[in-house]
A and B are shown apart, each in its own frame.
Chain A
Amino acid sequence: MIVKPGELTGNIRREADVAIIGSGAGGGPIAKELAEAGYSVVVLEEGGYFTREDFDFRPGQAFMRLYRDAGQTATVGLPVIIVPQGKTVGGTTTVNSGTCLRVPRHVLKRWHLECGLRDLEEDELNLLYAALEEYLFVKRADPEVVGENNLLFLRTAEKLGYSGGFLPRNAKDCEGYGVCAYGCPSGAKQSVDVSFIPDAVRAGADVYTRCRVERIVVRGGKVTGVRGHFLDPRSGRRTFRMGVDAPVVVLAGGAFQTPSLLLHNRICLSSGRVGENLSIHPCGATMALMDEPLGNPRGIPQSAYVDDFAPEGIMLEGVTLPPAIMAMTLPWGGRRHAEAMCMYSRIGTFGSMISEHDSSGRVVAGPSARQPLAFYNMGRGDVERLKRSVLLMAEVWFAAGARRVYTPLEGFKELAGARDLGRLARTRLRRAGIYGLSAYHPMGTCAMGGDPHNSVVRSSGETWEVENLFICDASVLPTSLGVNPQLTIMALAVRAAGFIDDRLSEGSIDTRNASRLDRLRNRLRREKESTIVQ
């Protein structure tokens, strides 16, 4: 059952086997796995519940309904970076682009060697990835619907000798409406709100919406439940109280909210790592004025990639912008802005994502648990990488016939050709001179690791300090991932569900249990067979 605030008549206090805070990429899969395993599961989600009928192609409305703080969340530091996050059933997956990538091998190796996570075995992860890809209908974006913008960029990049292709995405029968970030209006995108959560509910889970957890109850070193409040959808004010008594609690509020909740509850703090180690994958974007219309924004926004520079920490990924978003992004106002918007259909867009090497960030408790503060400063090397990504995109756009390329770099807002590229290449950028940057993958603030002194959770997802309190969201990723993270978050969540099952049924967890892989294989096989029978 999905419970909306209008259906409530008073305070709620109940019991469950598992209480899950958050219904996004981490919370949704755990809810499904455990509900289907026969446990009573309660999911508490701060955001509202919306369906495809509510998604109306208007970015402005989507920001206000589906995003935390209307998408205005930003980091404090140089440069200022907007970090939008979902707040709705399905979490950020409801508004994400649907790209599904596995953890790169070199990153997993780093987790093994530097983070003490050797028991995150590649074989096991691959099994989980494969099962998730099948469940979510993951396949490469269909060239028929990727749209002219992405096609042109990719084809030109390939002509220049750069490697790339179409991204794997969790969409079924996608028609390329181009508005994934504002809620998929056809239900093609297999975000958590249309996949894991409905399946969890079918298996008996209850999802309470507009319900914010404020307190995690711990007694004698063990978690025993959560407390919170329902929120009035219009004013955001607290209404009824909510309490769940449960032997297992899963914290899956995302990389900003999860550490904030721990900091406000003053739990799991002895390693000093809660909130530390924030990475976000800063994103640059370029816009290019072309001679011919590109049919924007129709087409899958994030459908093509260029990965030639991935070893340097630079991924180029497609993006298209509906008029309202392009209008916000253009670097001018007044008449110049209006004239540029008249050429909207001729403006191409492409984005870049930087995997951090020397930037640093942290989330600290803000004035309220709801509003944590995120500090983030880009390092010199990462600023250079961002510049290089802009140069590469501009090079491709000019080769594709662009008349002008617009960038987020002060002094280089408008590039006219090779001379400007040369000038930019020689310039050492000031961090304060980079504007309008955004980032979509906050992670790492409750890092998983093999040592309780420098990590917050074990490889099972259970916190080192509080028994039966698991963290399953982007915050556990121990380093910058280098690729879009949702599939890895889901894989770790499903893996953690197995450990929670162990704990609830047998009372113990052994992450090195040799038979675990076989059990996982059997479980996935059984699930597959039961889906085929249905």
Chain B
Amino acid sequence: MRAYFARRLRLLAPIFIEPVEGLPPADPEGVVEFNREFLRAGTPAFRLLYYAMILVLQALCLATRGKSLYSLPPDEADRFIQSLYSHRVSALGAVPAVLGTVIYMSHYNRDDLQALLGFDVAAMREEAAQRGVQR
């Protein structure tokens, strides 16, 4: 992943992953690292689409808010993202949706977070390791 896109993703992570009480905040480094691996393992078409969406998101923000997405106050950035998600034109909704899929997957893939949501992965991993079903 080019440094430019990595920088943008680092900034996008906390916009997509809003802090809420009881859950850990975004880990931008972790998000970038996961994205790097995930895009490398995937199709060139998705990779291209993904990078294009980063650029389109910024362009849409400049066009509609007159400011860079990364310089908007958190509340306004959130409103902007929401407005796209619920936009009547589904192509516009696809812009954050495509970016969101990988950002959210990387964030909620974390063991600590899954445990907080009631899916205690570490405990189940241990349990499963001991069970080992034989044919």
Contact = CB atoms under 8 A, between A and B. Distances in A.
Contacts of B3: none
Sorted from nearest, which 8 A-B pairs have the closest CB atoms?
Answer: A327-B104, A185-B128, A60-B109, A70-B41, A327-B108, A334-B78, A70-B42, A72-B42
B97 A436 contact: yes
A339 B17 CA distance: 10
Interface residues of B, number: 54
B42 A327 contact: no
Q: By CB atoms of chain A within 10 A, which of B17, B19, B86, B128 has the most?
A: B128
Interface in B54-112: 77-78, 81-82, 84-86, 90-91, 93-94, 96-97, 100-101, 104-109, 111
B125 A185 contact: yes
Contact of B16 (A74, A185, A333): A333
Nearest to A65: B41
Given A185-B129, A334-B15, A338-B18, A60 B104 contact: no
A298 interface: yes
A457 B97 CA distance: 41
B135 A293 contact: no
B125 A336 contact: no
Interface in B10-29: 15-20, 22-23
A187 interface: yes
Q: By CB atoms of chain A within 10 A, which of B16, B22, B100, B133 has the most?
A: B133
A175 B113 CA distance: 23
Contacts of A322: 114, 119
6 contacts: A69-B46, A177-B124, A297-B119, A323-B108, A327-B104, A341-B117
B43 A371 contact: yes
Contact of B23 (A52, A173, A298, A338): A338
Interface of B: 15-20, 22-23, 34, 37-38, 41-44, 46, 77-78, 81-82, 84-86, 90-91, 93-94, 96-97, 100-101, 104-109, 111, 113-114, 117-119, 121, 124-125, 127-129, 131-135
Given A72-B43, A186-B128, A344-B118, A324 B133 contact: no
Interface residues of A, number: 61
A337 B129 contact: no
B106 to A, nearest CB: 6
Contacts of A70: 38, 41-42
Given A333-B16, A333-B81, A341-B23, A58 B121 contact: yes
A293 B117 CA distance: 11
Contacts of A15: none
A59 B135 CA distance: 25
Given A173-B133, A333-B82, A328 B128 contact: no
Contact of B117 (A175, A186, A345): A345
A64 interface: yes
Contacts of A185: 124-125, 128-129
A376 to B, nearest CB: 15
A270 interface: no
Contacts of A190: 135
Nearest to A73: B43
A432 interface: yes
A173 B20 CA distance: 39
A323 B114 contact: yes
Nearest to A436: B97
B60 to A, nearest CB: 14
A475 B56 CA distance: 38
